[in-house]
Amino acid sequence: MSDRLQVRARPLPATHSTASAQSVGRVAAVCAVFVLAQLVLAVPGSGLGWDETVYTSQVAAHVPAAFFSAPRARGVSLLAAPVATLTSSTAALRIYLAVLSGAGLFVSLRVWRPLLPARVLALAGGLFAGLWITLLYGSQVMPNLWSAYGALAAVGCLLRAARDRGDRAALAGLAVAVALVGLMRPPDAVWLVLPLAGAALTVRRWRHPVVFAVLAAGLLAGCAEWVIEAYVRYGGLAARLHRASAIEGGLGLHFAVDDQIRALDGRTLCRPCDVPWRHRANSAWWFALPLLAAGGAAAAWRGRRATVCLPLLTAGFLAVPYLFTVGYAAPRFLLPSYALLAIPVAECLWRLVRDSAGRLRPVATAAVALALCGHLAVQGGVLLAAVGNNRQAREHYEALAESLHANGVRPPCLLSGDSAVPLAFYAGCASRQTAGSDRSITVAGLLAAAGHRPVAVLVAAGDRAPAFARQWRSAALAAPSGSAAYRAYFPR
């Protein structure tokens, strides 16, 4: 960043209320299509995944809370609470979150309206919403998409506040957006504030104490619960960070760029990511993304350069920990970066299809439209495969839960062992582990629990039961054809 970025953004032409409503309507239409696509493609028949069961169980009325490990934050549980506390219906929760995710996309883009034309914002929203990752996680109880919305809104609010120090709404929005990221993913909030504070410090006209105060207030407000819990449950912030690092496999210098590329085949988690890179067309967009974003930053006319460059810079910061410090991959980790990169990419595409007089170039327009159609077709194919895997997992857990019920394991019950966390949610049980990172009960405690409620220890086919359970009665659990088989061990 340099003082070249001090130039004020060219004011958007004044229009009457009808034109303004039409411009907002473009963005709203994109968000509505995003919601509709989720309701048609991703929501029907889907079930809660492993992590979702952990987050949802914290606020659900029908199941005990699962063990909440050190890296997790409670923001998305609070987001799901209005529905999860009232009903056990996964469909109701999915529909609620799908609609809410559309509203979140609209708000995070609407923040940018004084800075960029509606056509750029609508295209940026479509590019981000069209990713299979965004469509899949829009209705899921996972924090990464909401972290993305917060990051996108925070950058827009900072640019607005820097342009007009009297824009109190932008300052308030900046604090709220940073707090949202902190509530969802505290590490993301730190990586978000670094480039924003750095930009405000570097660009002379942006350098104002109130900006730094707002950034600090948002960061503290968002991360406060996570930090307080660190002292209550772990003995301090350093202890929680150390524990979180151990659970994540040891945070440090890890080159995970290739892991993220392989995960774009539709894997929601690639750990360890030692699978071959088969469907290379699925990741073509990933290689084009930084080139198009850099092109958008370079092509933006001077008065809008800061508006396009800051999202690019911030996206890079938010991607660093997931590309170079984590030893595995999950496509959702990069959602905040994708949301921010959509701004310069949209700017680049519009510059490609328009000449200096603002007229459309027919050949370039046709080429870009064809490329986008192909891109959306690829994203749709990967989405359908990922949703299919989710539905199979739901059928698997439901069948295992029914088999447990048939063996007398009904609420109030307690499960331990392999896949106990998600299966306990489906069966209406509590889950506790006697070993590993989720250790929350001793063997003696497990045996004591068996005296007053049904207890089962789950063992995957081919694995040996833990020593304390080998003399217990056991039964094979029925599972759909092709699903992993399990055996349950019951205290005598």
Please indicate, yes or no, if residue 376 is contained in any of the structural domains. Answer: no
Residue 382 inside a domain? The answer is no
Q: What is the per-residue pLDDT across 150-166, written as a single tens digit (0 to 9) for each?
A: 999 999 999 999 988 88
Last residue of a domain, one of 338, 353, 368: 353
pLDDT at 52 over 90: yes
- Mean pLDDT across 276-291: 94
> Is residue 365 in a domain?
no
Identify whether residues 343 and 195 lie together within a single domain: yes
Instruction: Clarify whether residues 193 and 87 are in a common domain.
Output: yes
Give the percent of the chain with pLDDT over 90: 86
Do 336 and 437 lie in one domain? The reply is no
Cβ-based neighbours of 112, under 8 Å, separated by 6 or more: 121, 156, 343
Q: Domain for residue 292, yes or no? A: yes
Q: Which of 2-11, 14-23, 92-101, 171-180 has the lowest mean pLDDT?
A: 2-11
Average confidence (pLDDT) over 269-290? 93
pLDDT over threshold 80, residue 16 = no
Do 316 and 219 belong to one domain?
Answer: yes
pLDDT value, residue 403: 96
Same domain flag for 266 and 405: no
Average pLDDT, rounded, for the chain = 93
Name the pLDDT band for 203 (thresholds 50, 70, 90).
very high
- Considering the domain architecture, whether residues 404 and 326 belong to the same structural domain is answered as no
Is a pLDDT exceeding 60 seen at residue 2?
A: no
Q: Count CB neighbours of 433 within 10 A.
A: 18
Q: What is the CA radius of gyration of the chain?
A: 24
Does residue 31 register a pLDDT over 90?
yes
Q: Are strands 455-460 and 430-431 parallel, antiparallel or unpaired?
A: unpaired
In a domain, 361, yes or no: no
Q: What is the pLDDT of residues 109-167, one digit of tens each?
A: 999 999 999 999 999 999 999 999 999 999 999 999 999 999 999 999 999 999 888 89
Place of tokens 């209550």: 232
Q: Which of 324, 353, 382 is the last residue of a domain?
A: 353
Domain holding 132, by residue range, is: 3-353
pLDDT at 357: 78
Using one digit for the tens of pLDDT, what is the confidence trace for 291-320?
Answer: 999 999 988 876 677 889 999 999 999 999
* Bridge partners, residue 487, by sequence: 459, 476
Cβ contact 474:488 at 8 Å: yes
Predicted local distance difference test score (pLDDT) of residue 356: 78
Q: What is the pLDDT of residue 92?
A: 98
**pLDDT category of residue 437 using cuts at 50, 70 and 90:** confident
What per-residue string of b and e applies to 290-301 under the rule 16 or more CB within 10 Å gives b? bebbbbbbebbe
Q: Are residues 213 and 316 in the same domain?
A: yes
Report pLDDT for 17: 54
Domain end among 353, 385, 420: 353
**Does 164 share its domain with 269?**
yes
Q: How high is the pLDDT of residue 278?
A: 87
Structural domain includes residue 370: no
Query: What total number of domains does the chain contain?
Result: 2
Residue 302 pLDDT: 65
Whether pLDDT at 213 is above 60 = yes
Are residues 198 and 335 located together in one domain of the fold?
Answer: yes
Sign of the CA dihedral running 458, 464, 466, 468 = positive
